[in-house]
Amino acid sequence: MDIVVKGRNVEVPDHFRARVSEKLSPCERLDSRVFRLDVELAHEKNPRQSAHCQRVEITCYSKGPVIRAEARAADFYAALDTATLKLEARLRKAHDRRRVHHGRHTPASVAEATAGLATDLEVPINGHDAEAAHESVAVLDPAPRDDTELLIVRDKTHRAEPMATADALHEMELVGHDFFLFCDSETGLPSVVYRRHGYDYGVLRLASS
């Protein structure tokens, strides 16, 4: 298993690299399919964030879905400890899911996977309701001068196999995000699952008129 440690505008000392190897070595025992761990360190320069100025993000690559964990603390060692605990919990969750679904070849239907989920669009999405989201889109469409491209700071394209909604929810939890974009294997529609308040989830689907 390869462990790659890098800093974003941060110099990584050798003793911290040794600590990373020591903390993350057990991950291989939790999942023998893991072949690489990327660890990135970053520093928040805002003095108001001094209590959480050091960030550690761990990305785990294996034969299964990518698993990610992130933590912030006053120092990199504390952030590493917290991020490692999160990663181990997600690795165990992925392992338990494989055991439960061992031998299963037919994914759950959309109706089965989304039972109990709210279907209305006027729901909180990352702290903003759908109406506010539409308003923000309108702001990004200035006229007559179109400078939208100047506002885009990152553009990524991901290749992925179609999956069931239940599997998309699972992968969203593994990377620790509040939303997950996927192509629904049953409907063929581009879709997004997202976290609502508490333990509820929502699903948005994109269909042409």
Question: Is the Cβ–Cβ distance between 151 and 95 less than 8 Å?
Answer: no
Helix orientation angle between 14-24 and 76-100, rounded to the nearest 10 degrees: 20
Domain for residue 105, yes or no?
no
What's the rounded Cα separation, in Å, for the pair 80 and 52?
12
Question: Is the Cβ–Cβ distance between 41 and 12 less than 8 Å?
Answer: yes
Where among 100, 119, 141 does a domain terminate? Answer: 100
Question: For position 119, what pLDDT does the model report?
Answer: 44
Residue 135 tokens read as 């308003």
95 shares a domain with 20: yes
Where among 61, 80, 100 does a domain terminate? Answer: 100
22 shares a domain with 63: yes
28-87 tens-digit pLDDT: 787 888 889 999 999 888 777 677 788 999 998 888 788 888 989 989 999 999 899 888
Where among 52, 80, 100 does a domain terminate? Answer: 100
pTM above 0.85, yes or no: no
116 shares a domain with 41: no
Of the CA atoms within 13 Å of residue 116, those in its CB half-sphere come to 6
| 182 closest CA partner among 173, 174, 172 | 172
191 shares a domain with 132: yes
